[in-house]
Amino acid sequence: MENIAQYREIYCEWAPNEKVAVEVAQGACFAGARSLAAMKHVGVNVAADPLFSLAYTGVNGGFVLVSADDPGMHSSQNEQDNRYYAKFMKMPLLEPSDSQEAKNYTIAGFDISEKFDVPVLLRTTTRISHSKGLVTLGERREAALKPYKKDVSKFVIIPANARKLRISLEERLKRLKEFADTFPGNRVEGNGQEFAVITSGIGYQYAKEALGDRATYLKLSLTFPLPEGLIKDFIAQHRKVYIIEEGEPFLEEQIKALGLNVIGKEVFPRIGELSAAIIKEKLLGHTLPVSITTHDVPVRPPVLCPGCPHRGIFYTINKLGAIVTSDIGCYTLGVLPPLNSLETCICMGASIGNALGMSKIMPDKKVVATIGDSTFLHSGVTGLMDVVYNRGILTVVILDNSITGMTGHQNNPATGFTVKNEPTYKIDIEALVKACGITNIWTVNAYNLAEVEAALKAATTCGEPAVVIAKRSCVLIDKSARDIYTIAGDVCTYCKSCLKLGCPAIENRNGKMVINETLCNGCAVCVQVCKFSAIGKAGAVNA
């Protein structure tokens, strides 16, 4: 998105959530522009509502949805295979196998969308999204705005219109099925005699690497609707056909439903990422390489950054003995030792709803929901409305670090800047919270533990819904010069209280507590934790 934002002729924006992103792109496509919305696989869950209807209405300008799936869950809460969404939503599905195809099929997606009057889903997986390759760009093709024409029967899906659009959609899919048999991205490759393989996406690359010239491949790129004629012809020419696909048996199920005999997930795993090594093991009998581990290298789980403003919040919350629900973001790392603060983390925006449900069942417990500023604007605010509306008694802590930190420091409606880093209106989170009906609000400095603790105690004992907004910029964004801290060896009692913060800059080195000055970001939270005043500014105390 940051790259697209550099093109002045392309309108580009960060949306507060995926549903809004689709709805904005949807409006642009209705108005006649080619439009694209991109998101992770779980984002499609959020955007599903307008997408299902978009398949019915069809488009004016072309519409492409890019879903980046995450087999193996490198940074996700599940590994759902969004190809099923394409089938469920009745949207044609394109699966690129490399960077070149990702570019080519985005263009093809727009062409298909406009030709058949349907939105198109372009699905990538981790290795496609994270890989780079040489790409031939070709000649630039201008796509002029299509004229907008008011068409209530098409774009207003009241039941009377929707029933007709439902029939129309099936007719469009029927024509698409015929098109799939001739789509150049669906093709037979090679003439190997040992194996016959039907594959798609990154599975194609793994199969080629593992089997090389020993196989004949039916490479599929438009995988919904299936090119049934092409598949039937291919299978008829081979005695045994393997389906090699990463994730769920999407192709396999559809092909078997045609009454065709293929081999798939009874051989290949459906959990995690596929690889050439797995294919070699299953089909060639090669032993999988053994991962080399050594006990000399300590396990290094992810941790909050040194100086992260979230650390002091979780340290303080732990003193309350509260049940703490959380959300998707850097602060999810508060679940790890030594903070051990969190009890739930389900999906974007769920922390507040989770907290409300738990508080209703356990009214005698203090329940605290923690959520970041961007996630609160993404979908947390609706949970807060529910808390007010249904008279919940709990505390919401909004961890406002003025950025969308975990996924790459995108701006959001509360940062005051657009995707092009142009100044814009800045949402006032405190005013938004008030507008939801919250009257108990504390805005505190996340680095000031006394202030944080006082606010949390007041919030969790007020007997009403309350919000604490803990403000401090992400330490990776705010590079303003800070003091570096050190531990006075002659004062330190080696009580190890500072280790309870879990700050990577604080080390227990050879029976002595020290601060690694190359890591210290000068937040001074450790100074407040030390009961013996052993921590001070470097140069002011003797290390």
Spatial distance between the Cα atoms of 171 and 56, rounded to a whole number of angstroms = 11
Burial class (CB within 10 angstroms; exposed 0-12, middle 13-18, buried 19+) of 57 = buried
* Nearest one of 334, 469, 313 to 400, comparing CA atoms: 469
For the beta carbon of residue 377, count every other beta carbon within 10 angstroms. Answer: 21
- Residues facing residue 508 across a β-bridge: 513
- What are phi and psi for residue 516, nearest 5 degrees? -75, 110
Which among 30, 112, 13 has a CA at the least distance from the CA of 64?
A: 112
With beta carbons less than 8 A apart as the criterion, state whether 65 and 120 touch.
yes
**What is the Cα–Cα distance from 25 to 1, expressed in whole angstroms?**
14
Please check whether residue 61 is in contact with residue 28, taking contact to mean a CB–CB distance below 8 angstroms: yes
**C-beta of residue 201 within 8 angstroms of C-beta of residue 193:** no
**3-state DSSP percent of the chain in helix, strand and coil, to 5:** 40, 15, 45
Distance CA 524, CA 483 (A): 9
Counting beta carbons within 10 angstroms of the beta carbon of residue 297, is it exposed (0 to 12), middle (13 to 18) or buried (19 or more)? Answer: exposed
The β-bridge relationship of strands 506-509 and 512-515 is antiparallel
- Cα separation, 464 vs 518, in Å, equals 44
Structure tokens at 469: 């907004």
Residue 301 pLDDT: 73
pLDDT at 262: 97
Angle at alpha carbon of residue 42, lines to 36 and 48, rounded to 5°: 60
Torsion angle of the four alpha carbons 267, 273, 275, 281, in this order, in degrees rounded to the nearest 10: -30
Tokens 């087999």, residue? 71
Question: What integer pLDDT is reported at residue 76 of this predicted model?
Answer: 85
Whole-number pLDDT of residue 151: 94
- Please provide residue 68's backbone torsions phi and psi, each rounded to the nearest 5 degrees: -100, 100
Amino acid 292: pLDDT:
60
- H or E, element range at 197: strand 195-200
Give φ, ψ of 145 to 5 degrees.
-60, 135
Cα(309)–Cα(446) distance, rounded to whole angstroms?
Answer: 6
Q: What is the DSSP letter of 423?
A: B
Q: What is the DSSP string of 364-395?
A: TS-EEEEEEHHHIIIIIHHHHHHHHHTT---E
3-class DSSP assignment, residue 249: coil
pLDDT confidence of residue 3: 85
SS3 148: coil
Tens of pLDDT along the chain (543 residues) come to 878 889 988 999 999 999 999 999 999 999 999 999 999 999 999 999 999 999 999 999 999 999 999 998 888 888 999 999 999 999 999 999 999 999 999 999 999 999 999 999 999 999 999 989 999 998 988 899 999 999 999 999 899 999 999 999 999 999 999 999 999 999 999 999 999 999 999 999 999 999 999 999 999 999 999 999 999 999 999 999 999 999 999 999 999 999 999 999 999 999 999 999 999 999 999 987 766 655 666 667 788 999 999 999 999 999 999 999 999 999 999 999 999 999 999 999 999 999 999 999 999 999 999 999 999 999 999 999 999 999 999 999 999 999 988 888 889 999 999 999 999 999 999 999 999 999 999 999 999 999 999 999 999 999 999 999 999 999 998 877 678 999 999 999 999 999 999 999 999 999 999 999 999 999 999 999 999 999 999 877 666
* Helices first, then strands: H and E counts in the chain: 18, 19
| 225 preceded by a cis bond (ω within 30 of 0) | yes
CA distances for 209 relative to 100, 213, 290, 308, angstroms: 18, 9, 19, 43
b/e burial code for range 214-233 (CB count within 10 A of at least 16 → b): ebbbbbbbbbbbbbbebbee
Residue with tokens 């012809």: 233
